[in-house]
Structure 1
Amino acid sequence: MQRTTNISDDELKLIQMRCNNATKGPWVSYVEDRDHTSGGNFIMTGDNNNRGEDIELIGATIADQEFIAHARQDIPRLINEIRRLKQLLTDIKSS
């Protein structure tokens, strides 16, 4: 069921908390025969200086894997943009 109400500050905090608790980024999707030649598809976590465990998905499409990998970077950016826009609305209403 899709919600049609605004995202509350409490909901944003919960989303941010889930993001902060996830394995550190960046996350990068690697697809066999596109990005490398053997070993299967996976999501690499962290970077070369602080690499985490790889994430391997069962039953996911390439599009699913790409979405999940990009979400690690996209969600924090979206949260920041929502907060910026909420602040802008507050500023406009108070002026």
Structure 2
Amino acid sequence: MTSDEIEVIKARCEQATAGPWKSFIEKRDKFSGSDFIQTGGEDFYLTGATLADQEFIAHARQDIPKLIAEIERLRALVR
């Protein structure tokens, strides 16, 4: 993965709604209503996504910045 590719991913993260994001699944979390992703802004209600898709999307908001930071840390060690 090139540095340019990492910068593009970082830019997408920075432009996305602020986190953390949390996935609420009615059957699992004992909430009444719909399954949704809670964000630092407006909540997301997904259509056609599986529960695993919803979990992945919600966690990506936190996971991707952590992964980028780890890549940058490891690259600095290699230099």
What is the match of residue 45 of structure 1? 39
Segments of 5+ residues of structure 2 without an aligned counterpart are: none
What do the CA deviations read for 1:34-55 (whole angstroms, capped 9, x no partner)?
A: 1133111000002xxxxx1000
CA distance in 2, matches of 1:37, 1:80: 34
1:18-37 alignment runs, 5 A limit: 18-37=12-31
Report how many aligned residue pairs link the two structures.
Answer: 79
1:6-85 alignment runs, 5 A limit: 7-46=1-40, 52-85=41-74
Kindly indicate whether structure 1 or structure 2 has the higher relative contact order, using CA contacts under 8 Å at least 6 residues apart. Answer: 2
Richer in helix (by share): 2
TM-score, length basis structure 1: 0.80
Segments of 5+ residues of structure 1 without an aligned counterpart are: 1-6, 47-51, 91-95
SS of the counterpart of 1:26? coil
Alignment RMSD: 0.8
- Does the 8 Å contact 1:25/1:45 carry over to 2? yes
User: Which of structure 1's runs of 4+ aligned residues deviate more than 4 A?
Assistant: none
Aligned-pair identity in percent equals 61
TM-score, length basis structure 2: 0.95
SS of the counterpart of 1:60? coil
